Structure 1
């Protein structure tokens, strides 16, 4: 992961199966997940562990103790277990009746308050006062006490964001626990933080705390505290990051309850077995939605039956629990989106209208706008010698290019001592952290990084004066250096700039579509703020974290799709509060079809490079907290629709029957095919492998959820010139007895020049609501 995203630098790789031929008695035993599909009814759940032990014992030798090798079992939302196995034993279990899949326990990575005020304004497409009472109005109409479960690094319960002042009693339907552990007791939970669990990477979660390596649900990294407070933290006045981004920090759904499931650990990352345990317990505990700000890296995207997040989310949604996941931080590369199963609400990251400016002042008093978070103690006047990295090349360095990028070991420390160093920085360079540490160790007084890709994401440099500029701005500095005998400069400490334009724009790191698993489902689904988000953090001491003379901050500015995900979870919680009976599909539809496609300049949303954003970048658009509460129409996805999807995806009826309960007599149609995935009743439309020679028809069913029972919606189409898009019928008349209506979208090529991906949208309107569905057609 990139340093600028801050989160998850060391949560990266997963366990791999031992390669090559090894004698059985010498073979390495690894942790495997055995997935066995849907859990049986309550009456037989107590027998599950026994059946798992019997299955495991059937493949172990007498020397292998069954209890010692069984790590944990899953029995609430789905059935299965985790165990230490050899490769041969894993293969043997995979052939047993009732087993869907067996796979090595993967290690996933983290995808890591003005943002809520900004969303309120952009969702209304006005410049109105963000504190105009709209959020309070939403809260006052809530009729349902939502519970948000988060699978993350744990939580810091002492944070002001999690106080329970004025909250009512915990909902009676809550079945969870406040699990005790190291430096964490049941008293750390309250009416806001109602539950906390944790899972060791190598121990059963049911074991006594003292036997689980001294861990607990307490956050030791900060990520889980940040995401939890973003989704549902209380309003905290006078919040800031050492004076930056000052204001009131608040979560999206301040009245919601929080349940934390710690599935990530500093030493091992986020094991898939722990992720599955988190899902399994969250379903049984009674959460309404699950926020997951982690996932596989883009280069490792397992099939749904071997992906812990896809598995857990499938069974959660089947139980009525909405699952929101981050899209990943492997952008801007195409086909990098993860967590792309159609039952998951997948979130991309965008900027907000806040900029952290740290300017460079040259000797001629010209100011160059920079971006970065530092608390520079340099003089405001430009008195420090300025040098370009290439000029400071050491004699041992053979490359001017490496020196211009200030790669480690390429600069002469004597040439940079006491100077500000100008360095190029590209995506695949030596890490930014390594470069700056070497510059600081060589007694440079500051650094200016030329970085076009990451220029809109402010990295945190604390006390070392550093800032980022674009190539265009760098040309001005180089011109000054080359035309001046003794060039000098200074770097100013960071100031917060608000009402920055244009915003939002897509963050460079945000993973993009199309999904490599199925291009016939458009992913990501939605975009939300994920750049330099202020939220609660764990207090950390030390010069690497705290500016001189300051106390550890209770808040932090962090970037990643990890930060975008809980924004959408917070919106989903409010939608659920307004509409308690709505399914996860209806909530997803409300959020997607009411999204915004314009920025604060009333122009189309753009990417970090300035190009117009496509649905592969932002899905349906930027989430709109206000509009999502009353969408007018929704696209419901029934359980049978997901069965049909699995058939078209390539699963057999027998395998599907292992994964989930199916209606008696259900069989996959003989003509099941990927080309029919487009017919899944999804709020967006994706048509892949469009030949252009024949038309393609896609079916949808809209459900009226508006207050008007007798209402007519009329369609409008925004299509590129290469496509002819017809919607039939072009009017939908809903009545008291007719709340669901079908329509078809017919795509035809207008000429033979259709190539690549083309985008557009269809919008239904009754004069009050606008129900928009983006589409992509791929030739």
Structure 2
């Protein structure tokens, strides 16, 4: 996602879900996904293909060729297919044996240097001897770790994908480097070891929107190139966006390999293509998957009808850690997506870099008001340009002065703003600031100042139009000056990069928040990471039109969104995996969550960008700590059987679960399964909903991975005054023969007036390691 505007920061790097046109005419065909769960053991591929064809043939009109309907098949780690069907045919398939779910192919949209340095600097603890602390030595330099990305493709010529000094491709890699438009097998190397694309041609008889530029792994959008270089890009010296954010651009795991699965085109990311990518990636041999895609907060498909939840479930079953973006629908509560417990869900925070574009006021004192934006202003540095408040420039046709003060379209008189800098109010309900700026530019204004408190940490990108954004406090100074003189003047300075900015990190306003409506007894997001104005590689598409006049498109771009936070976590997860190749996805997630930071570079609690102290709903366990993740001390393991029990408690029947995956002999959902029991999933955080004040107990089990066999951990509790929280036992003593221990947490009310959400934490420490688990108790 590109920070062409703060609106784009919200809409592009997040993936808002666009469901395919719902087709009210019965004779119209749409693409449906038929999900049939796990591939039965010892089933030959030919047998599976025959079953798919027979099933599809049973509902199609006699004589209709299968090839006309069948689009793709899933055959490696799970079974199913995508096909063009009428509504009646789809309904007929729902009743067929072996079909778990059938749903219209959803079209998902994308969620988009200094960030790594900032994370290192903000980390309080350092790893003095990782090999001792982690309890194992890395099997290699990490170059055998393979990160797969489902995204818009990749620009292979980018310097971020050089393979200088990298060893041979791991022999276990079974993937492919597919050819396509302007892409061939020679575009892959020892860094970019795989690239696949998933073609879907637009069909005039189909009501599903298909990508139009998916006939090659090449990235014509930029998003996939940005995320993959953030996760595992090779270091590139002197990288910048036209001189801004200058430094060394590098990935979180510079020695990891990259495999790109292009599932997104110009119209979005079809779920059917994503399922094919999951199916291929699992068979190819990736270690991790980074997915900056997700549904809209307004559409929450059931887990058996969500391509991401389905694909991740089968990947995690096979030991693949999957990291997904939380969404960009914040700051409203309950907006988080990708909330299945087998997903590592990531929110976005700022870093200590500020893009400053000040307003200089005229008059005898030439006062400067701090502003934030990305523009390459060519205005004079002296305040010689007439300045006007938009409310004073209302058009004769405008009946609403508020519309004019906000510079909304067609509300201003061109004659009144021509050759002037215009001061505009702004709110979330308005036209976007970028749209307003373009309109003002067309009408002859020489610059714009937008008043916006909400998105002040996200620098909007105006490029060649002199525009900046100020806070309400700053605007008061500007208005006071305008009202104090007959001929106010000002200028807008071009952007400069300011580092060591405080406070940082802050939770980005666009980052989606908990609690999840699907999993209220699990805290989501899990973790947060840098996602605001992140510098990373971009396409070199000559059609890309954000370059300043006379300049060629940049090889790098500044982008924001949970899309950018996601690959930060994927890169760190790859480092953990390289040090601990046998660790499960749950152990890797646990290490990331229990070592997270909750303090900013002012040594104060992390806040949201509105200034309030962040809660687990805002940023999960905290902000990822790239040093302490290698010495978590204890980890919370979750096995497949635990996820099966979650599905029981969520409401699935034993029969449905048996179709989804291979289950242990004798497994049955208990009759007392309930969503309240989800709180007992061995998660690194604790969430309880529907709390009445009566005692509620949850259990957890931890495994000692601290490298010292005989060690004792002591618990400390941080709890709000309204709750009594007790942990038993309060000490955990490990030995050579005792590597796993359990404990129980009980919650009771200390007040009869419970209302809302209560936050706290439980921390285990042996004097060296601190293992922190946040908790949330939500009253009924």
Which bracket does the TM-score occupy, shorter chain normalised? over 0.9
| Mapping 1:595-744, distance limit 5 Å | 595-692=596-693, 694-744=694-744
Deviation at 1:674, TM superposition (A): 0.5
* Paired residues of 1:5 and 1:509 also in contact (CA < 8 A): yes
For 1:498 and 1:457, the matched residues in 2 are separated by 15
The 2-side partners of 1:276 and 1:397 are apart by 50
Structure 2 unaligned spans of 5+: 1-5, 128-132, 204-210
Aligned CA RMSD, in angstroms, stands at 2.0
1:735: how far off? 1.1
Q: Is the 8 A contact 1:462 1:544 kept in 2?
A: no
1:531 to partner: Cα distance: 0.2
Hey, what's the Cα distance between the residues in 1 that align with 2:597 and 2:519?
25
Distance 2:747 2:213 in 1: 59
> Which is further off, 153-162 or 3-12?
3-12
Following superposition, the deviation at residue 630 of structure 1 comes to 1.4
Answering whether residue 516 of structure 2 is matched by residue 511 of structure 1, we say: no
More moved, 166-175 vs 535-544: 535-544
Work out the CA distance in 2 between the residues paired with 1:429 and 1:607.
23
Q: Mean alpha-carbon deviation: is it higher for 269-278 or for 560-569?
A: 269-278
Q: Quickly say closer, same or farther: Cα 1:707–1:291, change in 2 above 3 A.
A: same
Matches of 1:5 and 1:139 in 2, distance apart? 38
**Structure 2 SS opposite 1:588:** helix
Equivalent residues, number:
758
Q: 2:322, 2:368 → 1: CA distance?
A: 47
> Equivalent residue for 1:65?
65
Give the 3 Å change call, closer, same or farther, for CA 203–681 of structure 1 in structure 2. Answer: farther
**Contact 2:197/2:214 (8 A) holds in 1:** no
- How far is the alpha carbon of 1:346 from its aligned partner? 0.2
SS of the equivalent of 2:506 reads coil
Tell me if the contact between 2:195 and 2:217 (Cα under 8 Å) persists in the aligned partners. Answer: yes
TM-score of the pair, normalised by structure 2: 0.95
2:130: which partner in 1?
Answer: none
SS in 2 for 1:99: coil
How far residue 39 of structure 1 moved from its aligned partner, in angstroms, is 1.7
Superposition map of 1:472-551 within 5 A: 472-541=473-542, 544-551=545-552
1:197 paired residue number: 196
Superposition pairs of residues 147-546 of structure 1, within 5 angstroms? 147-202=146-201, 215-266=215-266, 268-364=267-363, 365-541=366-542, 544-546=545-547
| SS of 2:507 mapped into structure 1 | coil
Q: Give the CA deviation at 1:12.
A: 5.3
Equivalent residue number for residue 13 of structure 1:
18
Report if the CA contact (8 A) 2:389-2:405 is conserved: yes
Do the aligned partners of 2:339 and 2:524 also contact (CA within 8 Å) in 1? yes
The question of whether the paired residues in 2 share the 8 Å contact of 1:273 and 1:308 is answered with: yes
Unaligned runs of 5+ in 1: 129-133, 205-210
Tell me the equivalent position of 2:100: 100
SS of residue paired to 1:79: strand
Question: What is the distance in 2 between the residues matched to 1:16 and 1:63?
Answer: 27
Question: Residue 207 of structure 2 aligns with which residue?
Answer: none
Paired residues of 1:620 and 1:773 also in contact (CA < 8 A): yes
Judge conservation of contact 1:39–1:45 (CA < 8 Å) in 2: no
CA separation in 2, counterparts of 1:308 and 1:255? 30
Q: Classify the secondary structure of the residue corresponding to 1:37.
A: strand
User: For the residues of structure 2 that align with 1:123 and 1:298, how far apart are their CA atoms?
Assistant: 32
Deviation at residue 201 of structure 1 after TM alignment: 3.1
Q: 1:673, 1:716 → 2: CA distance?
A: 30
Does the C-alpha gap of structure 1 residues 212 and 539 become closer, same or farther in structure 2, counting only changes over 3 Å?
Answer: closer
CA distance in 1, matches of 2:329, 2:555: 29
User: In 1, Cα distance between the equivalents of 2:214 and 2:326?
Assistant: 32
- Range 300-309 or range 41-50, more displaced: 41-50
Contact 1:144 1:578 (8 Å CA) reproduced: no
Is the 8 Å Cα contact of residues 182 and 214 (structure 1) preserved in structure 2? no
Deviation at 1:754, TM superposition (A): 2.0
How far does the alpha carbon of each residue in 1:207-240 deviate from its partner, in whole angstroms, 9 at most, with x for none?
Answer: xxxx997720000000000000000000100000
**1:545, 1:11 → 2: CA distance?**
23
Alignment partners' CA distance in 2, 1:568 and 1:125: 18
1:561 and 2:566 equivalent? no
SS of aligned partner of 1:124: coil
Q: Deviations over 1:587-630 (max 9, x none)?
A: 00000000000000000000010000000001000001111011
- The DSSP-based 3-state class of the residue aligned with 2:571 is helix
Partner of 2:208: none
Distance 1:637 1:275, change over 3 A: same
Instruction: State which drifts further: 435-444 or 508-517.
Output: 435-444
How far 1:551 moved relative to its partner? 2.5
- Give the distance between the partners of 2:521 and 2:72, measured in 1 at CA: 36
Distance 2:308 2:765 in 1: 36
Match of 2:50 in 1: 50
Pairwise CA distance, 1:65: 2.0
The 2-side partners of 1:445 and 1:639 are apart by 61
Retained in 1: the 8 A contact 2:447–2:465? yes
Aligned twin of 2:85: 85
1:131 is matched with none
Q: CA deviation at 1:646?
A: 0.2
Tell me how far 1:245 sits from its aligned partner.
Answer: 0.5
Give the 3 Å change call, closer, same or farther, for CA 695–12 of structure 1 in structure 2: closer
Change over 3 Å in CA distance of 1:269–1:212 after alignment to 2: closer
1-structure distance, mates of 2:411, 2:352? 38
Tell me how far 1:301 sits from its aligned partner. 1.2
User: Partners of 2:13 and 2:722 in 1: how far apart?
Assistant: 43
Q: Deviations over 1:623-653 (max 9, x none)?
A: 0111101101000001110010000000000
Instruction: Give TM-score scaled by structure 1 length.
Output: 0.95
Equivalents in 1 of 2:497, 2:770: separation in Å? 36
- 1:549-600 alpha-carbon deviations (Å, 9 max, x no partner): 3222100000000000000000000000000000000000000000000000
Contact 2:15 2:294 survives alignment (8 Å):
no
Q: Secondary structure at the match of 2:78?
A: coil
